[in-house]
Amino acid sequence: MIVALDHVVLTVRDIGATCEFYGRVLGMEVRSFAGGRIALHCGSQKINLHLAGAEFEPKAAKPAPGSADLCFLVDRPLDQVLARLGQARIAVLEGPVQRTGAQGPITSIYCRDPDGNLVELARPLPVQAP
Which domain CATH number covers 47?
3.10.180.10
Whether the predicted pLDDT of 52 surpasses 80: yes
Domains in the chain, number: 1
Question: Domain range holding 39?
Answer: 7-124
**Contact between residue 105 and residue 85 where contact means Cβ atoms under 8 Å apart:** no
Give domain status of residue 1, yes or no. no
Is 55 one of the catalytic residues?
no
The catalytically annotated residue of 55, 57, 94, 120 is 120
**Contact between residue 111 and residue 100 where contact means Cβ atoms under 8 Å apart:** no
Give domain status of residue 2, yes or no. no
The whole-number pLDDT of residue 129 equals: 65
Give domain status of residue 28, yes or no. yes
Using a pLDDT cut of 70, give the percent of the chain over it.
98
Give domain status of residue 94, yes or no. yes
The terminus-to-terminus CA distance of the chain in angstroms comes to 31
Q: What is the mean pLDDT of residues 65-70?
A: 96
Whether the predicted pLDDT of 66 surpasses 80: yes
Mean pLDDT, the chain, whole residue set: 94
43-60 burial code (b ≥16 CB/10 A, e <16):
eeebbbbbbeeeeeeeee
The whole-number pLDDT of residue 2 equals: 82
Give domain status of residue 130, yes or no. no
Q: How confident is the model at residue 59 (pLDDT cuts 50, 70, 90)?
A: very high
Spatial distance between the Cα atoms of 109 and 114, rounded to a whole number of angstroms: 17
